[in-house]
């Protein structure tokens, strides 16, 4: 819960306000309303730990030169009993402030004390957030975009948890509507193919191997000459496998029933298997949901129809060419859209509206966060328009749009898994690359950037692979502490009783450790786990520099050794916490790579 960066900044702000107050009281500056000023962390550390532009920002209002103002302010400041030791005036009128050693020591100690809670905050205390992500079509396997969405949504949810929100992860199961119809039609066709003479031959030839059977029937692109498929059906092998498994269990008992009954039976058989498969695959990706919300429930309890009724009651609909339209343009959307088709069936967006009413009104989440592919961006204003028409504050719905993923191997776009030869989806991706690498890579870029995923790099067990850089830093720290313990050199003492080395490697590392809580908060506010990934990479790099410059074991004095042990403990804790947000393992040992010949 500690945030030493914030503590120091608040203290500095207080010091500045006091100085301004006394200067005004003494009549040395006018009591003019001052424009907002900033306290920031300079990029160049020779400019101090904090810098303020207050002198420059207020130059106009005070009719004074920025440097003269800065000198007055600095002259009026007293740093006794604070974390600051001095101030300098630089450039056009920047004031640069320098922290005392005690701040660095206290920071290290605070991290050690906070342990697994270091970085947490209470920004969202008392508020509820629902993060909906992936929500893949249950009629087939997940694609690569779902893998990115899973890592992203799970990271966002973790960030909200870290910042004090009550957070739930939810998967919206589209188990109704057109795609289920199409699923049933596809299953039925494949089933009837198996019941045919040629199907029986294929079954006999592949009696024990459903995969081989599917391959035999599939043909080039799903359209085997002996088993042709019409347009507008799912062609995947998974459909054949479902049909074949059903056939094996129940033989041809569905061949004689009506098409409608056959579809219902096959969907009733295959859909639960698919949904269980999604749950299993996501779990293997370390994603566990609180809720699996069924679209069918919204149809069953009348919610979908009630949406249309309510919008109509409020006078926001009209009829045209037999369909019912929503006056979306009145509520900020680009154009009106259809709610109920001329054939009487609601369009896909109606259950979505009902679903979001359930999130924001019935279940009363303060925030609903949806992770969506960028190809859905046009749909967002429409959904919001409908919610607005139903008196929901649309600021409570935040949509994180995610750009497409391009997979590359050998510098070329890749479509198939190296190991299984199947199209690369979430599952096949994990056949090719380690789980940690997948979760790390998908959170390396912000959601809104087009993403080139380098499969070769993700597999690479070398310095080129960023995820290993971070894990290596962790293993290295563990190794240092382990060695010291084995050799009886390990000391734990309060940092306040120890000296602090004066190398830039030590202070830079501690500064970055101190920045962690603010980074977590900022990442949560921006719904951007990639900030945590970047933070972890920087932290690792700073630790490696510290390692090269500052020996712990061979520190000049025992006290300095103890101090550096403290820094190591704080660094490893921070690294571990960052990786915990991303759900990436931190091994305590890694094989040292053999030198290249």
Partner RNA sequence: GCGCCUUUAACUCAGCUGGAUAGAGUAACUGCCUUCUAAGCAGUAAGCCAUUGGUUCGAGUCCAAUAAGGCGCGCCA
**Residue of 119, 177, 501, 517 that binds RNA (CB under 7 A):** 177
Output DSSP code: residue 408. Answer: E
**362, 420, 449, 503: which one binds RNA (CB under 7 A):** 449
| 65 makes contact with RNA (CB under 7 A) | no
Query: What distances in angstroms separate CA 574 from CA 116, 322, 482, 553, one per listed residue?
Result: 8, 61, 18, 21
Q: How far is the CB of 166 from RNA (least distance, A)?
A: 25
Q: Give min distance, CB of 299 to RNA, in A.
A: 12
Is 41 a binder of RNA (CB under 7 A)?
A: yes
User: Tokens representing 219?
Assistant: 């043909």
End-to-end CA distance of the chain: 49
* DSSP code for 363: S
Smallest distance, RNA to C-beta of residue 352, A = 8
> In the complex, what is the shortest distance from the CB of residue 309 to RNA, in angstroms, rounded to a whole number?
18
Closest approach, Cβ 255 to RNA, in A, equals: 29
User: Which of 165, 139, 156 has its CA nearest to residue 234?
Assistant: 139
Nearer to RNA, 22 or 179 (CB): 179
Q: Is 364 in the site for RNA (CB under 7 A)?
A: no
| Residue span binding RNA (CB under 7 A) among the ranges 79-87, 243-251, 536-544, 573-581 | 536-544
Please, which residue, 106 or 336, has the CB nearer to RNA? 336
Question: Which tokens go with 79?
Answer: 């740093």
- The least CB distance from residue 350 to RNA, in Å, is 9
Decide if 427 contacts 142 (C-beta within 8 A).
yes
| Three-class SS state of 169 | strand
Written as one string, the DSSP assignment of 454-502 is EHHHHH--STTSHHHHHHHHHHHHHHHHHHHHHTT------GGGS----
Closest CA relative to residue 383, chosen from 375, 392, 374, 439: 392
Does 296 bind RNA (CB under 7 A)? Our answer is no
Only segment of 103-111, 192-200, 263-271, 477-485 that touches RNA (CB under 7 A): 477-485
Q: Is 43 in the site for RNA (CB under 7 A)?
A: yes
Site for RNA in 239-278 (CB under 7 A): none
- Per rule CB under 7 A, is residue 378 in the interface with RNA? yes
CA distance 478 to 474: 6
Give least dist CB 213 to RNA, A: 30
Q: From the CB of 397, what's the least distance to RNA, in Å?
A: 16
Q: Is 221 exposed, middle or buried (0-12, 13-18, 19+ CB in 10 A)?
A: exposed
Q: Which is nearer to RNA, 214 or 506 (CB)?
A: 506
- Is 86 a residue that touches RNA (CB under 7 A)? no
Between residues 136 and 239, which has the closer beta carbon with respect to RNA? 136
Smallest distance, RNA to C-beta of residue 202, A: 31
CA nearest neighbour of 151 among 292, 334, 282, 314: 282
Stretch that binds RNA, among 269-277, 330-338, 416-424, 573-581 (CB under 7 A): 330-338
Cα 493 from Cα 105, distance rounded (Å): 12
The minimum distance between CB 98 and RNA, in angstroms, equals 11
Residues from 334 through 363 that contact RNA (CB under 7 A): 334-335, 337-338, 341-343, 347-349
Closer Cβ to RNA, 31 or 549, answer by number: 549
Please choose, out of 85-93, 108-116, 257-265, 390-398, the segment that lies near RNA by the rule CB under 7 A.
Answer: 85-93
Work out how close the CB of 54 gets to RNA at its nearest, in angstroms, rounded to a whole number. Answer: 9
Residue number with CB closer to RNA (314 or 450) = 450
534 binds RNA (CB under 7 A): yes
Nearer to RNA, 25 or 595 (CB): 595
Rounded to 10 degrees, the C-alpha dihedral 512/469/563/47 comes to -30
Q: In the complex, what is the shortest distance from the CB of residue 194 to RNA, in angstroms, rounded to a whole number? A: 27
Stretch that binds RNA, among 106-114, 216-224, 306-314, 368-376 (CB under 7 A): 368-376
Nearer of residues 281 and 446 to RNA, judged by Cβ: 446
Closer residue to RNA in complex, CB, 397/475: 475
Site for RNA in 137-176 (CB under 7 A): 137, 174
Q: Which is nearer to RNA, 41 or 491 (CB)?
A: 41
Number of Cβ within 10 Å of residue 487's Cβ equals: 9
Q: Which of 85, 1, 45, 110 is nearest to 567 (CA)?
A: 110
- Using CB under 7 A, which residues numbered 396 to 415 contact RNA? 401, 403-404
| Shorter beta-carbon distance to RNA: residue 289 or 547 | 547
Closer CB to RNA, residue 198 or residue 592?
592
Q: Name residues contacting RNA, limited to 88-127 (CB under 7 A).
A: 90-92, 94, 96
Q: Classify 343 as helix, strand or coil.
A: coil
Ranges within 565-594 binding RNA (CB under 7 A): 588-594
* The token pair that represents 197 in the structure block: 């003479």
One of 265, 547, 567, 582 touching RNA (CB under 7 A): 547
Select the residue interacting with RNA from 34, 57, 112, 423 (CB under 7 A).
Answer: 57
**DSSP H or E segment with residue 28:** none
Minimum distance of RNA from residue 170's CB (angstroms): 17
Number of residues that bind RNA (CB under 7 A): 93
Buried b (16+ CB within 10 A) or exposed e, 421-430: eeebbbbbbb
C-beta atoms surrounding 19 within 10 Å? 19
CA distances from 572 to 475, 493, 516 (A): 9, 17, 13
Cβ 378 to RNA, closest distance in Å?
3
Place of tokens 């050693």: 101
Tokens of 302: 């009348």
Query: Is 55 among the residues that bind RNA (CB under 7 A)?
Result: no
- Please report which helix (H) or strand (E) contains residue 294, including its range: strand 291-294
Angle at CA 410, nearest 5°, toward 443 and 441? 5
| C-alpha distances in Å from residue 137, one per residue of 61, 223, 415, 449 | 60, 22, 20, 24
Grouping H, G, I as helix, E, B as strand and the rest as coil, residue 352 is helix
The interaxial angle of helices 530-549 and 504-514, nearest 10 deg, is 160
Q: Which of 83, 472, 516, 527 binds RNA (CB under 7 A)?
A: 472
**Distance between CA atoms of residues 68 and 62, nearest Å:** 11
In angstroms, rounded to a whole number, what is the distance separating the alpha carbons of residues 590 and 478? 10
When the beta carbons of 193 and 521 are compared against RNA, the nearer one is: 521
């Amino acid at each position: 819960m500690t945030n030493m960066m914030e503590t120091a900044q608040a203290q500095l702000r207080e010091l500045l306000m006091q100085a301004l107050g006394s200067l005004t009281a003494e009549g040395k500056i006018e009591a003019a309303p001052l424009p907002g000023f900033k306290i920031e962390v300079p990029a160049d550390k020779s400019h101090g730990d904090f810098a303020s532009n207050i002198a420059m920002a207020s130059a106009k209002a005070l009719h004074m030169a920025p440097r003269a103002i800065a000198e007055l302010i600095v002259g009026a400041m007293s740093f006794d009993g604070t974390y600051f030791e001095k101030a300098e005036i630089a450039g056009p009128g920047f004031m640069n402030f320098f922290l005392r050693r005690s701040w660095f020591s206290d920071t290290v100690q605070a991290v050690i004390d906070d342990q697994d809670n270091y970085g947490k905050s209470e920004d969202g205390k008392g508020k509820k957030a629902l993060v909906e992500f992936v929500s893949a079509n249950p009629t087939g396997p997940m694609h690569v975009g779902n893998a990115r969405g899973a890592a992203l949504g799970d990271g966002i949810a973790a960030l909200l948890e870290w910042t004090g929100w009550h957070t739930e992860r939810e998967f919206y199961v589209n188990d109704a509507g057109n795609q289920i119809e199409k699923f049933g039609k596809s299953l039925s066709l494949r089933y009837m193919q198996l019941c045919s003479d040629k199907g029986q031959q294929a079954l006999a030839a592949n009696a024990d191997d459903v995969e081989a059977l599917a391959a035999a029937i599939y043909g080039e692109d799903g359209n085997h000459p002996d088993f042709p498929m019409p347009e507008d059906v799912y062609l995947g092998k998974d459909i054949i496998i479902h049909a074949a498994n059903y056939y094996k269990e129940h033989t041809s008992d569905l061949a004689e029933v009506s098409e409608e009954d056959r579809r219902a039976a096959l969907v009733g058989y295959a859909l639960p298997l698919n949904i269980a498969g999604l749950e299993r695959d996501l779990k293997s990706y370390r994603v566990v949901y609180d809720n699996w919300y069924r679209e069918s429930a919204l149809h069953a309890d009348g919610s979908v129809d009630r949406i249309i009724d309510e919008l109509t009651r409020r006078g926001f609909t009209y009829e045209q060419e037999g369909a019912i339209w929503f006056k979306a343009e009145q509520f900020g959307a680009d154009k009106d859209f259809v709610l109920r088709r001329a054939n009487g069936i609601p369009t896909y967006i109606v259950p979505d509206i009902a679903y979001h009413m359930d999130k924001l009104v019935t279940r009363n989440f303060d925030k609903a966060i949806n992770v969506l592919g960028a190809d859905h961006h046009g749909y967002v204003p429409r959904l919001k328009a409908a919610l607005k028409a139903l008196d929901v504050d649309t600021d409570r719905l935040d949509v994180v749009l995610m750009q497409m993923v391009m997979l590359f191997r050998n510098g070329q776009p890749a479509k198939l898994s190296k190991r299984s030869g199947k199209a690369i989806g979430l599952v096949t991706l994990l056949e090719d690359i380690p789980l940690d690498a997948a979760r790390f890579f998908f959170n390396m870029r912000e959601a809104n950037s087009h993403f080139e995923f380098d499969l070769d790099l993700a597999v690479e067990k070398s310095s080129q692979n960023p995820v290993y850089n971070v894990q290596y830093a962790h293993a290295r720290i563990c190794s240092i502490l382990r060695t010291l313990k084995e050799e009886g050199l390990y000391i734990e003492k309060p940092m306040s009783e120890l000296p602090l080395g004066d190398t830039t490697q030590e202070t830079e590392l501690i500064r970055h450790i101190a920045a962690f809580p603010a980074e977590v908060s900022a990442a949560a506010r921006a719904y951007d786990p990639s900030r945590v990934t970047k933070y972890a990479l920087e932290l690792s790099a700073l630790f490696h520099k510290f390692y090269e410059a500052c020996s712990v074991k061979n520190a000049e004095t025992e006290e300095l050794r103890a101090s550096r042990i403290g820094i190591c403990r704080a660094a490893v804790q921070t690294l571990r916490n960052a990786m915990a947000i991303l759900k990436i393992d931190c091994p305590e040992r890694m094989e040292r790579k053999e030198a290249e010949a």
